[in-house]
Structure 1
Amino acid sequence: MFFRRAREDRAFREAQRAGFALLLRLQATQPWPDFSQQTAPAPAAGEAVAPDFLPPDLRVPSGQEVAGVMMRWLQPLVIDGDVRTCPECGAYRDWIVFCLRDDSVWLRCRAGHETKEPGLGAAWFNRHSGPVDRFHPTLEEGLRHLGH
């Protein structure tokens, strides 16, 4: 079975090479017609030209303009089989999970204690977070929006 497949693959590659060689010979012998580039007509004198970009109220901030994204995680957070608890107060649920610009993930408990979580990364955050529904100018406004 293996040898039959190898023969079929070899025959296919040889047919591809022969077709490519024929195409090169045709291009060398056949003069191709000279197609002129068609351009869009210029706007009339009274017509206004619309810009190609969105108005400012519809634009999304770029990655350099956003310090990070956050989401709420109500259930206990289990990483590698262990339930994460706050090192200061012992809380184990109702987290705010931050993913910062440097792809680090931080946890914030209800009491406001923050800790970096080395077991999580930006890939985990992107798999578990939903779409961004709002941008906030300050951390406090974002936390208020998420109920903290």
Structure 2
Amino acid sequence: MFRRRSRIDREFREVQRAGQAMLAAASGRSLPEAPTQAAASAEPADFLPPDFRAPSRQDVSGFMMRWDPPLVIDGEVHACHCGAYRNWIVFNMRDDSVWLRCPAGHETHEPCLDTGWYNRHSGPVDRFHPTLEDGLRHLDH
């Protein structure tokens, strides 16, 4: 499959160069020089310096978000054993499991929720925290 993909890429580049040559001939301009084979096969340089790169999914233990309204799962309001039914912290862990934390600090795995649910309901990541306590403090929990 890898060879087929590289052949397709090579054919695409050849067709692209031929199209550019036709456009250049029609407009009367000269073409820029094509990159050498060594330059074309070299890995592209990283665009951002390391300090500006966001961690990848493998670099973090999980994601968390606040869920202030009552959490409805399968048509029922989910409640903790302590009676809390709102102001949850929802964790999406690296192993694609979703955990809930009530305001009293009780944590439970919720098998009915998954990473797809979390991604549909969470906003963009606004900050990364080195510890769980820092993240909870950021979310006022």
What is the percent sequence identity of the aligned residues? 70
Question: Aligned to 1:118, what secondary structure does the other structure show?
Answer: coil
Q: Which residue of 1 aligns with 2:27?
A: none
TM-score, normalising length from structure 2? Answer: 0.69
Which protein is richer in helix relative to its size? 2
Aligned pairs (5 A) from 1:1-148: 38-39=34-35, 52-87=46-81, 89-148=82-141
Count of paired positions:
103
Unaligned runs of 5+ in 1: 1-31, 41-50
Match of 1:96, SS state, is strand
1:56 to partner: Cα distance: 2.0
Q: Which runs of 4+ in 1 moved over 6 A?
A: none
TM-score (ref. length: structure 1):
0.65
Q: Cα deviations across residues 66-96 of structure 1 (Å, max 9, x unaligned)?
A: 0000000000000111110112x11000000
Amino acid at match of 1:116: H
RMSD: 1.8
